[in-house]
A and B are shown apart, each in its own frame.
Chain A
Amino acid sequence: MRILLLEDEFMLARSIRTYLLARGHLVDHYDNGQEVLETIETMQHDFYILDINTPLVGGLECLKIINQKYPLIPKIIISAYHDVDYISDAFDRGCSDYLKKPFNLKELEIRLQHLTAQVSNITELSHDPLIYLSQQYTFNKETNLLYFGNVIQKFTKREYSLIILFVSNLGQIMTDESIRSFIWNGEETESSTIRSLVNRVRAKLKEDLIQNIRGFGYMMTRIESV
């Protein structure tokens, strides 16, 4: 993720930055609100972390403008103000969460993860019924059908249940046990039966959407277009 951080306290900004960087997030740090306003004109971040009391333009002012421009992106206010008025003001202006200073960096990360997960759920539900799996493959969530180009792909009922299962858990490993739970009602099923179902589906797919993660299970991932 690419995160925008507005914080004028140098030490805190540095530790947030180092912490999030170690967890794979890029942090663009600004120590005044003016520069933030200039930046958001031309660039959208995946997450905003804003302090309230900042030079030139305050964090709440920035929050309001960011929220108008990017209403769906999560925004956290971090502040030493514990006053309820500030908190209510911040939520009025569209923040997703309010974290009181001092806070544990882990807590920031937990909230960050939670909020981004929420947002991705909302956006996936509310928009397009199509899930794009590759340049050719799409899955329609409303009809539960898989398309290659514009052509509906034929599978047996059980094979389709498996595809629905993988599509619902993109990028997550499905173990034999979880496949058994969904497709065989949790009943005793030989691993070889599960394997052969997965292999049948893999053989019918024209692209390598489902991978075998040896020792763990199977995973479906999007194939990004080059």
Chain B
Amino acid sequence: MDGIDNQSLSAIEAGARIIQNSYEDMTYLMKHDRLHEEMSSINLVDFITNRVQYFACIAEVNELSISMRIGQPHIPNINISELKLSRIIDNNLSNAIKYSHRPSEINITIGIFEENIFFEVRNHGPIIVDKKKIFERFHRESLYKGGYGIGLSIVAQICEEENIDIKISSTPKRGTSFRYIFKNATRLQHNSSTITHTKSAGGKA
């Protein structure tokens, strides 16, 4: 074991995880219209913590660290398909890692603002040239970095379907941030017991 360079091993592990993310994107693209969607009640903090742990080793190889801050002691669960949520989060983490100056820190914030749950990923790297175009398929901000320009187009598609607002800011001083605001999810949370029940009860009566 001692003979093998630990750093190379970590680099291989990180590489494999990056490829896995691309692979998940492709699978999602091919299958999403055939898969029937399973909504589940998800604790956003736990979910993101878990994804961050997965990406931590890629970040480490790239001399980056990921920090997380939570706005409230208790954040209600959101209703969303786990598959879709992980596409949004994974693509943002992988982009943040890809487009960061090294060494630096990636900051994630999760909280509630004006009744809506949000999460934000902020990193420090080259600023985004065209904030609209980045969501187009095959558009790539840098041709030097690996990638296919698919990740954010999937994210945009999902956000449209799920009524999630995206707010982007990118300035040299404050870096780049992607903020995702879950509009549907919280409202569903508040009303879920009433709306869904009347519907199913109506069918029976």
Contacts and interface: CB of A to CB of B under 8 A. Distances in A.
A141 interface: yes
Contacts of B177: 181, 186
B122 A177 contact: yes
Interface in A169-183: 169, 172, 174-175, 177-178, 181-182
B1 interface: yes
Interface in A118-159: 125, 131, 141, 144
Given A181-B120, A186-B179, A168 B107 contact: no
A178 B72 CA distance: 13
B38 to A, nearest CB: 25
Given A177-B107, A185-B113, A186-B167, A164 B73 contact: yes
Given A177-B107, A178-B107, A186-B177, A172 B69 contact: yes
User: How extensive is the interface on chain B, given as a class?
Assistant: 20 to 34
Nearest to A129: B73
A167 B70 CA distance: 10
Given A102-B1, A177-B107, A186-B120, A169 B179 contact: no
Nearest to A124: B73
Interface in B69-92: 69-74
Nearest to B168: A186
B111 interface: yes
A141 B73 contact: yes
A87 interface: no
A167 B53 CA distance: 24
A14 B69 CA distance: 37
Interface string B161-205: 000000101000010010100000000000000000000000000
Interface string B52-82: 0100000000000000011111100000000
Interface of B is mostly: strand
A165 interface: yes
- Most chain-A Cβ atoms within 10 A of its Cβ — which of B70, B71, B177? B71
Contacts of A188: 169
Contacts of B114: 185
Interface residues of A, number: 21
A177 B71 contact: no
B69 A178 contact: yes
A174 B70 CA distance: 10
Given A102-B1, A177-B107, A182-B109, A169 B69 contact: yes
Given A164-B72, A182-B69, A182-B109, 18 more contacts: A131-B73, A141-B73, A144-B72, A164-B73, A167-B73, A168-B71, A169-B69, A169-B70, A175-B107, A177-B107, A178-B69, A178-B107, A181-B69, A181-B109, A181-B120, A185-B114, A186-B120, A186-B167
Interface of A: 102, 114, 125, 131, 141, 144, 164-165, 167-169, 172, 174-175, 177-178, 181-182, 185-186, 188
8 contacts: A102-B1, A114-B53, A164-B73, A168-B72, A178-B109, A181-B111, A185-B114, A186-B177
Closest 3 CB pairs of A and B: A181-B109, A182-B71, A141-B73
